[in-house]
A and B are shown apart, each in its own frame.
Chain A
Amino acid sequence: MNDIRRDEVEDFLFREAELLDDWRLREWLELFTDDARYLVPSTDLKVDASPDDNLFYIADDRFRLGERVARLMKRTAHSEHPRSKTRHLVANVRIRGRSQDAIEVGAAAVTYRTKNGITDTFIGSNRYQLVVNGQGLKIREKRCHLDLDGLRPHGRISILL
């Protein structure tokens, strides 16, 4: 069993949030393992729904997540040009489970996105599967459950949650 502490996990998640808010997305991508997944289920699905037989908002494997980052760094990612300002707040961090080399972490999350004089708020809870190795923590899965009745008025998840 690993003995990672909650404050170490919090430091990791706060750093993740900072990289996103600074638009250092390539560094953010390095936080993920090579087999990682990034998931945002639709808001009317059960909590354990699978993207293989349900329609999500986002279900990226590691390749597509890399392409998502590459896309967002381009001027032609029109939805994020000029870039929006974001602030990712992370709270209520808990280690929910442990194995030899991994932990499951839950956190409450609020992300503000401001562009063109409008601020949209993404409220939800994030579930992480984090791999613990000699070098520290890596994200094997990040699953963002939105506490919303649909993406209204947001209209898009063009930022990374």
Chain B
Amino acid sequence: MNPTREALPFIRVDRQAATFKVARRAFVDPAVLQAEQEQIFDRSWLYLGHASELAKPGDFVTRIVARRSILFTRDAKGALHALFNTCPHRGAQVCRDRSGNAKSFQCFYHGWVFAPDGTLRNQPGGDCYAADFNREGAANMIAVPRFEQYRDFCFVCFDRDAPSLVDHLGRAREFLDLVIDQGETGMSIVGGTQEYAIRANWKLLTENSIDGYHAATTHATYLDYLKNSSGSLVNVALDGVAHDLGGGHAVLEYKAPWGRPVAQWIPTWGEDGKAEVEAIRTRLTERFGPERAERIATTNRNLFIFPNLVINDIMAITVRTYYPTAPDYMQVNAWALAPKEEGERARKFRLFNFLEFLGPGGFATPDDVEALEQCQRGFQNMKEAGWSDISKGMGKEVPSYDDEAQMRAFWSSWNERVGVSP
């Protein structure tokens, strides 16, 4: 019995009145978090990392995914593996480095040695074990039940019976492709991880990551900055649409006045930069035709892949995951993604752009963090002020990028898994 499936609903939808309400209990109740761990994070496909992070045979990274310690490796033949980072012998974490290159991994506790695919190579005092001790493979490191890739985006799933990754991604693939197609030789994660935390419920970051409504007020100082920095804008109005992609996935697709290394030039990049951005644009047209090239180059995408992967292809591309460790605390990892073949100059523009908006030192994200933490504080009044409103744009044929249809998509999917049907 799911402890949250009580009489009280989490979502109230009134189509007549065009209102959509979410119970604030969903953000604070430890029983809800417990249900989310079991119904969502233990069952859904979760982003592990990008194949470019393990460029060479022997490369590895360690990473926490849904409270599990995962060792992500590339073996000598180039195959990728996702292993539970725990020694089959007595449980210690086998690898304690956050990244590196290794031919094998030795658990320091008793010295068992494993290949990058998790196979036990040897253990000290091996002659004291039966000759066929590892015949069943029970002394190998355990691989995650499901590990699949979509065009270098690597995912794990802890539910053996889950549908395939491609099925899970569904219509989100169309928008992932618009990001991935930017790299002719593939995409890669740039060095450096922005790791931070927010003292707020993880679902607030889902909402915020695909919220086109808050920019004018929350990010007033960022917009001031763009206006002050002559040459940072082109004459393009902020405008676009939101799509519910099914399965809890959603995307905002819109035009915006900021520069995009792929490929919308702004004057501050100079004439040399213009030539470079135009060349990128021309190549896109050759590869995909004018219509798709235009869409890739000049539309922005805030893509949310259920339950906790955000790929925002805006003035730069960020890949972001976030996990709750308590109802009012989440850990966030964010990376920068770029075309592998990108030149020095465009890469510099990209990273400069990234930092002016994104990340815990940017001109925008700190104010998002503040907003989310203030929401969490506001939820102290939950007993008397118990509902959040997510109604904007309800009943519209085509919701705008600054409506809230995309959040309703998330909440409806969340509700099917955790809550009570309306």
Contact = CB atoms under 8 A, between A and B. Distances in A.
Majority secondary structure of chain A interface residues (helix, strand, loop or mixed) = loop
Contacts, number: 130
A55 B369 contact: no
A151 B197 contact: yes
Contact of A152 (B193, B220, B331, B347): B331
B340 to A, nearest CB: 13
Given A71-B221, A157-B361, A55 B193 contact: yes
B351 A77 contact: no
B344 A53 contact: yes
Nearest to B196: A151
A59 B355 contact: yes
A43 interface: yes
B359 interface: yes
Nearest to A76: B220
B336 interface: yes
A57 B199 contact: no
A57 B229 contact: no
B193 to A, nearest CB: 5
Nearest to B193: A44
Given A52-B351, A57-B194, A67-B225, A78 B367 contact: yes
A76 B221 contact: yes
A149 to B, nearest CB: 7
Interface residues of B, number: 43
Contacts of A51: 351, 355
Interface string B356-399: 10011101011101110100010000000000000000000000
A56 to B, nearest CB: 6
A54 interface: yes
Contacts of B370: 78-79, 156, 158
B192 A55 contact: yes
B96 interface: no
B225 to A, nearest CB: 5
Interface in A36-62: 40-45, 49, 51-59
Contacts of A118: 199
A153 B197 contact: yes
Nearest to B200: A155
B167 interface: no
Contacts of B133: none
A64 interface: yes
A51 B351 CA distance: 7
B199 A152 contact: no
B224 A55 contact: no
A117 to B, nearest CB: 10
Nearest to B222: A71
Nearest to A148: B195
B194 A55 contact: yes
A154 B221 contact: no
B335 interface: yes
A131 B380 CA distance: 51
Contact of B361 (A57, A76, A77): A57
A55 B336 contact: yes
A45 B335 CA distance: 13
Interface of B: 98-99, 190-199, 218, 220-221, 224-225, 228-229, 329, 331, 335-336, 344, 347-348, 351-352, 354-356, 359-361, 363, 365-367, 369-371, 373, 377
22 contacts: A44-B195, A52-B351, A53-B348, A55-B192, A56-B355, A57-B194, A57-B361, A63-B229, A67-B363, A68-B363, A70-B224, A71-B224, A71-B225, A77-B221, A78-B218, A78-B371, A151-B194, A151-B195, A151-B197, A155-B198, A156-B370, A157-B366
Given A45-B192, A78-B367, A78-B371, 12 more contacts: A44-B193, A52-B351, A57-B194, A59-B352, A116-B373, A116-B377, A150-B193, A151-B197, A152-B197, A152-B331, A153-B329, A156-B369
